Amino acid sequence: MTDAILLAYKEVENSMERFTLLLQSHVETMGAAPANSPEQVFRLSQGSKAMRDSAMIYLSYAKYVAYGMPETEDLVQDELQG
């Protein structure tokens, strides 16, 4: 693929990682505050996990495309290390 697509993939990957870490931190902060509803904290916690899992699914395909749709996962790893 083009360098622009690969760069965009890496930017999205970094952004999603940052987003999910910040969201998880927010859940932990809310859980530690007694004023917050346990139900609300639980729902946000579940949503945070779903967001993380969904991001991983989407990013796995984006990675596959960004690295030129290689035949095997080994070729993707070679690209990452090279």
pLDDT for 81: 58
User: For residues 31 and 16, what is the distance between their CA atoms, to the nearest angstrom?
Assistant: 22
pLDDT for 18: 96
Q: Compute the Cα dihedral for 18, 51, 5, 70 and give only its sign.
A: positive
Sites in the chain below the pLDDT cut of 50: none
Give the length of the chain.
82
User: For residues 12 and 8, what is the distance between their CA atoms, to the nearest angstrom?
Assistant: 6
pLDDT for 79: 57
To the question of pTM greater than 0.75 for the whole model, the response is no
